[in-house]
Structure 1
Amino acid sequence: MKFVLLTIAYFLARVSAAQSVFASDCPSDSPESCTTSNSASCCFEAPGGVLLQTQFWDYSPATGPSDLFTLHGLWPDNCDGTYQQFCDNSVTIPNDGSTIQDILVNQFNDQGLYDNLSNVWKDINGNDRSLWAHEWNKHGTCINTINPSCYSNYQTHEDVYDYYKTLYNLYESLPTYQWLVNAGITPSNSKTYTYDQIQQALSSNFGQDVYFKCDSNNAINEIWYFHHIKGSLLQHNFVPIAPLSNSNCPSSGILFPPKSGSGGGGDDDTPAPKPTTTTTSGPAPTGVPSAGYIDLSGKPGCLISNGKYYTSGTCATYHFAESSFGGVTITSSKGGCGVNSSTKEFTCSSSVDASQNQFQIKNGNIGFGGNYDWCLGSSSGSGSTAQTAVKLSDGSCSSFKLNPVSK
């Protein structure tokens, strides 16, 4: 009997080992993300199968070298354009980025990577390390193929190091400034360019159309390169794809201002456009009140302080604050507001960390993870005093918008 049990145990161990493929051992012909229904594994990125490499052109005040679009981050968006955020608190690092130099230089002996990132990964307010930490905590923790379980001999923070190394290498392969200049698109305070000129300069090098965004001056200020990926992030097998977002830039009259105070790149002495700022997590929120109610489009009533829908009584006052690196936090008298990871319901309580539940407010609508459609969920009580949950739409229900209304 003992021999039989040992034989069974050995067989099960061999089967388990055969099924455990670490990220470094993924086959070269791994399927491309978002093209199959494969479940998430160390060799298949899901649900965040669209990898965005994002860059900024902050020109006033000038941020970063005068001849570079600065690095922003690497975002794993879902295949439908929505996204997850702050996915794994067990691997986050301090928000101030105070441990990053130690991780890169002392733990993984990569002074070169740290120096390179210091040159190109810039925050407009000078909080560079905080930006780096934010990008890992919000986006990097959602990349499942570098989960600690995907390493054969995981070292603490190895996933953090690999994320930073990968995003820098990908950024280096996408020299936006050089591609534009090679096409005759150079920084100027007066000369303008067409959408087609910019798109052609970028897409002819990238292999797919590229998303670029303009600020209120019609000046180009963000570039997003969309990819699928084959296998693990560690294999760096990125596949360029067409953008899932539509540019807000006009068909003509697009500015490419030199970075103010750089003394280079401009072709005249025309004053630069008025200063503008750039958020660091997607399109800039518009119509963000400091405090107000939350209404449901086309429905009577509003949300009460716990985040539930109520058709009578007093509407709760919500407070809205734009986060340091983009996104909007929402709080009520009950505490922080967020979206429950399992039920997808909007909820507010003292147990919710608002900083890890960043919403978007765009065109007067509240969204979460890129989804601006909401539905009614389960109810408690009856009649006019019933409280009904509000949840993110999954496309199978009659949806509406959530609208912040200033007090």
Structure 2
Amino acid sequence: MGKIGSSMLTTLMLLLSFAVVALGNTSSGLRAFYLVQQWLGSYCNQRGTRCCYPPTGKPNPDFTIYGLWPYYNDGSFPYNCGDDNYDVGRLKPLELSLRKSWPSFTCPQIGRKFWVHEWNKHGTCSKNILGEIPYFKAALNLKNKANIYQALARGGIRPNNQFYSLKSIKKALVRAIGFHPWIVCNHNAQGKTQIWQITFCADKTGSKLIKCPYLPRGRGNCASRILFPSFY
């Protein structure tokens, strides 16, 4: 989301390591969704990155949705699956929830255009199963099921600018949520490795979490001990 420079490139490279990107491919069956959540503190403290808070102000500390991405049976990770008559006004009943759970921190703020972007790039690839409103409802529902912030807190892992072992982070998430996560790290302005994105998988209906059919090789650029920075 937004301008994340080299970190976005890192994410895309990791994705390409286990999936072939398909443009406009809607013929293959949808196998799963990847629910990707990110930690604002690690997004905003990268070198050269500047965050702008939503119009509602600074959000409460939490992992927020980075994206809900479909994954196909043929091994492709599709995007931009055709034009869609997107009516952002239809999201009005969900807007408060989306602002809280799926906000944009780009500068300048793009508001509702962010959700338009997410639907056009990723949601359209699931439109044969999930329409516009069900797509966003599914993302919000899955985030509630994968409450990362709460799961880590239960394991004694908090955003206190301290280092935690990658093993302990995964253990806390598996214990609370029931599935193994895919964890991606980035580096802060001082070059320290920190937790950034955490991914869980959902079934093709977008209704329940499942064991991921595929995970990228390696550990998402994470060291054995990683920083959990403060939210702001």
Give the TM-score normalised by the residue count of structure 2.
0.72
| 1:104 maps onto 2:98 in alignment | no
Shift of the 114–66 alpha-carbon distance from structure 1 to 2, 3 Å rule, reads closer
State how 1:137-216 maps to structure 2 within 5 Å.
137-146=120-129, 159-189=131-161, 191-216=162-187
CA contact (8 A) 1:55 1:73 kept: yes
Structure 1 residue 239, shift from structure 2 partner: 2.5
Unaligned runs of 5+ in 2: 1-25, 45-50
Structure 1 residue 139, shift from structure 2 partner: 0.8
Q: 2:198 aligns with which of 214, 218, 223?
A: 223
User: Aligned letter for 1:212?
Assistant: I
Unaligned runs of 5+ in 1: 1-40, 94-98, 148-158, 261-407
Structure 1 residue 62, shift from structure 2 partner: 7.9
SS at match of 1:248: coil
Structure 1 residue 166, shift from structure 2 partner: 1.3
CA contact (8 A) 1:84 1:142 kept: yes
CA distance in 1, matches of 2:31, 2:98: 25
State how 1:252-401 maps to structure 2 within 5 Å.
252=225, 254-260=226-232
Q: Percent identity?
A: 29
CA contact (8 A) 2:30 2:72 kept: yes
User: 2:79 aligns to what?
Assistant: 85
Q: Answer with 1 or 2: which has the greater Rg.
A: 1
User: 2:9 aligns to what?
Assistant: none
User: 2:34 aligns to what?
Assistant: 52
SS at match of 1:166: helix
CA distance in 2, matches of 1:181, 1:212: 17
SS at match of 1:71: strand
CA distance in 2, matches of 1:210, 1:168: 18
Which of the pair has the greater relative contact order for Cα pairs under 8 Å at 6+ separation?
A: 2
Q: 2:103 aligns with which of 122, 127, 131?
A: 122
Shift of the 82–55 alpha-carbon distance from structure 1 to 2, 3 Å rule, reads same
Shift of the 238–177 alpha-carbon distance from structure 1 to 2, 3 Å rule, reads closer
User: Aligned letter for 2:38?
Assistant: F
Give the TM-score normalised by the residue count of structure 1.
0.42
SS at match of 1:119: helix
* Paired positions, count: 187
CA contact (8 A) 2:201 2:209 kept: no
CA RMSD of aligned residues (A): 2.5
CA distance in 2, matches of 1:145, 1:72: 22
CA distance in 2, matches of 1:104, 1:184: 36
User: 1:298 aligns to what?
Assistant: none
Structure 1 residue 170, shift from structure 2 partner: 1.1
CA contact (8 A) 2:179 2:210 kept: no
CA contact (8 A) 2:200 2:209 kept: no
CA distance in 2, matches of 1:186, 1:135: 29
SS at match of 1:136: helix
CA displacement 1:182-202 (0-9 Å, x = unmatched): 10001122x200110111111
User: Aligned letter for 1:124?
Assistant: F
User: 1:364 aligns to what?
Assistant: none
Structure 1 residue 84, shift from structure 2 partner: 1.4
Structure 1 residue 140, shift from structure 2 partner: 0.8
